[in-house]
Amino acid sequence: MIKYKSLFFGKIMARKNKNLSALIDGFKKKRILVIGDLILDRYIWGKVSRISPEAPVPVVEVLNDNFMLGGAANVANNIVSLGGKATVMGICGTDGAGQVLKDLLANTGIETVLIEDPRPTSVKTRVIAHNQQVVRFDMESRDHLTGKELEFMLSALGEQVRECDAIIVSDYKKGVVSAEMMRRLLKTAKGKFIAVDPKVGHFHLYKGVSLITPNLLEASEGSAVHIKDEATLLKAGHTLLGKLHAGSVLITRGEEGMSLFTPSGVKHIPTAAMKVFDVTGAGDTVIAAFSLSHAAGATLEEAAVIANHAAGIVVAQVGTAAATPEMLKKTLRENGL
């Protein structure tokens, strides 16, 4: 475990509780554009009472199953759950899973700019027994958008960027985020806040963005610095900040909280989670809450604290989850913020 000397900072503590609540109330006036890889999360719920006689694996007696929004769709879902407005751009297959995904987006109130493609819709299926994930299996294509499909997305960027207050790039490395897409986005969205949830192998695409939100492993690989203590954490964060010419870097550290790097320094934020059942989608919650908070007028530090508390809410639930304004205000109030 990495230990830190300073875990909070005066500017955040100086904010009165009602002012943070006012920021959250302001979410409803903001629209966030989410660009990235749409995923359909399927959960199969059951119980285990025996081991298979065919192989040393548990036999799951299925009790229920359901579908949830995942990937970039879950980022948009978090924005809407927090009271904001969201438009999502991405690829959707023409298969049955694609229809389920479109229905979920429509029912959630998320506006869409979708490219329907013959490829299979990305589906992550998780088998859960006794609140524990037994296995996950994925169906997906990682082929990049090309030709007419790519041009459609690029041509739609202009109008969507004009109508939004901030932009999130949710990169799951499944074909949407490419060098050409990022070049066009950065050119079209000058002056807009652009946040990226990164993927290893794509860090070179994110030069010039406002914020990236890697976890420890992604930060290590993206910076080529093995993070093992405070010194290497600081080196990795500052390396990413300089290498990408980014406005800020937020490294999420699981049970140890987050570290926010800006040109003026680094702020360490302790975790807000009281208990952790499932970290699925926590990164989606972080970038959604951060971007929405900043668009509503929060400083980078305040946005990081709000995002940290939003993530603490969702990891206490099993399955892809999202926080609400009421839940967020409650946890901030309970922590004296």
284 is catalytic: yes
Position 321 confidence tier, pLDDT thresholds 50, 70, 90:
low
Average pLDDT, rounded, for the chain: 90
Q: Is residue 45 part of a domain?
A: no
Question: In the structure, what pLDDT confidence band is assigned to residue 13 with cuts at 50, 70 and 90?
Answer: very low
Output the domain CATH number for residue 82: 3.40.1190.20
Number of domains in the chain: 1
Q: What is the pLDDT of residue 82?
A: 96
Give the pLDDT confidence of 42-68 residue by residue, as tens digits.
999 999 999 999 999 999 999 999 999
Is there a domain that residue 65 lies in?
A: no
Quote the domain boundaries for residue 153: 10-39+70-123+141-334
Q: Residue-wise over 282-312: b if at least 16 C-beta within 10 A, else e?
A: bbbbbbbbbbbbbbbebebbbbbbbbbbbbb
User: What is the distance between the alpha carbons of residues 318 and 120, in angstroms, rounded to a whole number?
Assistant: 26
Residue 248 in domain: yes
Residue 153 lies in a domain: yes
Tens digit of pLDDT for each residue in 106-129?
A: 999 999 999 998 999 999 999 999
Among 41, 165, 197, 284, the active-site one is: 284
Q: If residue 252 lies in a helix (H) or strand (E), which one and from where to where?
A: strand 248-252
Q: Is the pTM of this model over 0.75?
A: yes
96 pLDDT more than 60: yes
Mean pLDDT of 8-24: 57
128 contacts 105 by C-beta, under 8 angstroms: no
Contact between 257 and 269 under an 8 Å Cβ cutoff? The reply is yes
pLDDT > 60? residue 179: yes
Structure tokens at 117: 């493609």
> Nearest 5°: phi and psi at 318?
-90, 130
